[in-house]
Structure 1
Amino acid sequence: MRYIVAVAEEGSFTRAAKRCHVVQSALSHQVKALEHELGVTLFARTSRKVEITAPGEAFLASARRSLDAAERAVSDAAAATGQVRGTLTIGVIPTVSAIDIPAILGEFHRTHPDVRIRLRGGGSDEFITAITDGSMDAAVLGLSETTPPKGVNTTVLARERFVAVVSADHALAARPRLRLEDLAEETFVDFPDGTPGRIPSDLAFQAASVRREVAFEAMSTDLILGLVRHTPVIALLSPAVIPDSEDLCTIPVTGGPTRVQYLAWSSFNPTPAAQAFISGLTESRSIG
C-alpha cells in the first residue's frame, strides 16, 4: 500500500522507488502483483507518464486510511510507554502573527524528536474542514470576530484591528487617522472575495454602510503590499504583517476591521502527537 500511495503522489515509479528506498524494478513488480491479485489496473502507464485510474483512486483512499491507522497503532503503543511518535499535521494561514510558529515547532521537535511535522499552507475554511475530517491535527486560523469557527475546539491567540496601508506618496499618507467613511471613494487591494482574510473588511464596511471598490485581489500578503507600493490603492491588514519600510505608511482606522486568530483542533480521538502539541502550546501561553 505504501508503494501505491508513493506512485500516486509522485506521479512516477522512479521517484516513488527513491522515496520508498527500493529499486524501481522491485516496486514495479509489487504494484503489478497487486493489480493482478485485485484484477484491476491501478495506474495507466506510458514510457513518459503515469496516471492513477478510477479503480486506483478508490484503492488509494482506503490505502491511505489503512496506513494512517497502522501509524496510529504504532504511536499509541509508543505513547503507552511515555514516548510520543507519529505525524503532526498543522495548518498555518499566510498572515499568522499571534505566535512564532518556527520557534514553537523547534521547541516541540527538541522535546519530541520522533514526531514528523507536516506544515500546510492555506485558508481558515479549508483548515476547519481538514480538522473535522481527520486529515489535519491543528491549525492557526484568522477569522472575523462575528464569524467564529464551528465544529472544532479553539482557543483565542490574539485579537487585532487592521490598519490602512498606503504608499508614501498616496494622498492619504499624511493623515494621522482615518474613518471608514473617508475611504468611500478609494480603490482597494484585498484578498479574494469570500475568503477569511477579506471577510473582516467586508463586514466592517457593510456595518458602516460604506461601499468600497476592490480593484485587485491577491492571496499573498507580499503581492498585496507590492501593489500598494506601485499603484494608488489601499490595503487593510494586520499591523504585524506590515514591514518597516520608507515607501509604506500605516494609518489607524476608526471602526476598522477586526480579526481573531485562533488555535483550532479536534477533540475527537486526537493522536498522542496532537495532544502533546496542543497541551504544550496552551500551557505555555497560560504561563506566559
Structure 2
Amino acid sequence: MELRQLEYFVAVAEEANFTRAAERVHISQSGVSAQIRQLERELGAELIDRTGRAATLTAAGDAALEHARAALASADATRRAVDEVTGMVRGRLDVGMVTACTLSPFFDATAAFHRSHPGIELSLTEGNSTDLLDDVRRGSLDTALVGVAERTPPDLASLTVFSERIVAAVPPGHPLLAVPSPTLIDVCAHPIVCLPFGTGVRTVFEKACAAEALTARVTLQASAPAAVADLAARGLGVAVLSETIATDYTDTLVAIALDVGIASLLALVWRPAVSPALGRFVEHCRAAF
C-alpha cells in the first residue's frame, strides 16, 4: 500500500468522478484507475462502485476513507516536522506587490528567500493595493506589499516599511511656489496628476480632500510614480506623491509638504495563520527592511 494510492482514492471519493480526480492529482485517468485497482487487490475489497454515473464509495470504501485521510495527514505532518528542523521548507508562495514597485530591499528579500529555499515555487504578481488586499484575505495571495492610508488593516498581520506624508510636486517656476506655506486648498486650485484609485497615496489624498470638503480635479493619472512625476514636470498638473518617491525627482520637481494629518503607509501584509514558507519570507523581509 502506497501513499499515492491513498491520495488517489481520497481524490476519487471527494470528487465522485475519476476524470476530475485525475485532474486534481495531475496524472491520467487510467493511472488513477490502475492505482486504485491495485489498492483494492491489496485490501481484498472494492472501494469504489463504478456502476453508476458517479463514482461512489462501497461500504468498504466508506470504512477506509477516514483512515486514508488520517494517513495522508500524518505523512504531511511528518514532512512538515522534518522541514521545520532542517529548514528545507517546500511548497509554493504567492506574493503580490503594488504596481510599479521599485523598492530594492523588497527585491533583495525575495532573492534571498529564493536562494535559501529553492524547493519553494515563488510567484510575484503586480496590482493595485485594494485588489492585493482582497487577494490576501481570500487566500489567492500569501502576502503582498501594499500602500494604505493611516493604518494597516486590523484583520491582517503586517510589517510597516514606510510611514510618510504626501507632497505636492511642481516644476520650478510653478505659481504654487509663490504662495507662502501652501495648503491643500491651494493645491486643489490646480489640475492634479495622481496615482489611480486603490493606491495608498491616492487614498490619503482623497481622504484629506473629503475631510476639508474639497473636490480635487484629477485630470491625469498613471499607475507608475515616474509617469506621474514626468507629467507634472511637463506642466500638465500638480503631482501628488509620497515624500520618499518625490525625492527621486528633485532635478525636475520641487516638493511641497502637505500637512494633512494622514500618513501614507507602505506595508507587507499577510493573514494571521502563517505557513512555514511564509514565515521564512517574512523573516527575510524584516532583515532587508
Aligned to 1:251: 256
- Residue 131 of structure 1: SS of its match in structure 2? helix
Provide closer, same or farther for how the CA distance between residues 95 and 159 of structure 1 changes in structure 2, counting only shifts above 3 A: farther
Counterpart selection for 1:162 from 153, 162, 166: 166
Write the distance in 1 (CA, Å) between the matches of 2:214 and 2:250: 30
Select between 167-176 and 183-192 the one with higher mean Cα deviation: 167-176
1:227 aligns with 2:231: yes
The 5 A counterparts of 1:186-265 are 186-193=190-197, 195-242=199-246, 243-255=248-260, 257-265=262-270
Write the distance in 2 (CA, Å) between the matches of 1:245 and 1:252: 14
Provide closer, same or farther for how the CA distance between residues 129 and 153 of structure 1 changes in structure 2, counting only shifts above 3 A: same
Write the distance in 1 (CA, Å) between the matches of 2:269 and 2:128: 13
Greater helix percent: which structure? 2
Q: 8 Å contact 1:180–1:256 — kept in the other structure? A: no
Aligned to 2:276: 272
Shift of 1:97: 7.2
Shift of 1:80: 4.8
Aligned residues: 219
Amino acid at match of 1:124: S
1:141 aligns with 2:143: no
Provide closer, same or farther for how the CA distance between residues 262 and 240 of structure 1 changes in structure 2, counting only shifts above 3 A: same
Provide closer, same or farther for how the CA distance between residues 144 and 98 of structure 1 changes in structure 2, counting only shifts above 3 A: farther
**C-alpha RMSD of the superposition:** 3.3
1:183 aligns with 2:187: yes
Shift of 1:176: 7.2
Write the distance in 1 (CA, Å) between the matches of 2:117 and 2:207: 42
Write the distance in 2 (CA, Å) between the matches of 1:195 and 1:272: 29
Q: 8 Å contact 2:129–2:148 — kept in the other structure? A: yes
Shift of 1:192: 2.9
Write the distance in 1 (CA, Å) between the matches of 2:97 and 2:140: 14
Q: Percentage identity across aligned positions?
A: 25
Provide closer, same or farther for how the CA distance between residues 261 and 165 of structure 1 changes in structure 2, counting only shifts above 3 A: same
Q: 8 Å contact 1:78–1:85 — kept in the other structure? A: no
Write the distance in 1 (CA, Å) between the matches of 2:221 and 2:150: 22
Write the distance in 1 (CA, Å) between the matches of 2:241 and 2:172: 16
- Residue 276 of structure 1: SS of its match in structure 2? helix
Q: 8 Å contact 2:201–2:240 — kept in the other structure? A: no
Shift of 1:136: 1.1
Write the distance in 2 (CA, Å) between the matches of 1:225 and 1:244: 7
Question: TM-score, length-normalised on structure 1?
Answer: 0.64
Q: 8 Å contact 2:200–2:266 — kept in the other structure? A: no
- Residue 215 of structure 2: SS of its match in structure 1? coil
Q: 8 Å contact 1:88–1:116 — kept in the other structure? A: yes
Question: TM-score, length-normalised on structure 2?
Answer: 0.64
Amino acid at match of 2:205: S
Provide closer, same or farther for how the CA distance between residues 86 and 219 of structure 1 changes in structure 2, counting only shifts above 3 A: same
Amino acid at match of 1:171: P
Shift of 1:172: 2.3
Aligned to 1:126: 131
* Structure 2 portions without partners, runs of 5+: 1-25, 33-71
Provide closer, same or farther for how the CA distance between residues 216 and 84 of structure 1 changes in structure 2, counting only shifts above 3 A: same
Q: 8 Å contact 1:88–1:137 — kept in the other structure? A: yes
Provide closer, same or farther for how the CA distance between residues 272 and 152 of structure 1 changes in structure 2, counting only shifts above 3 A: same
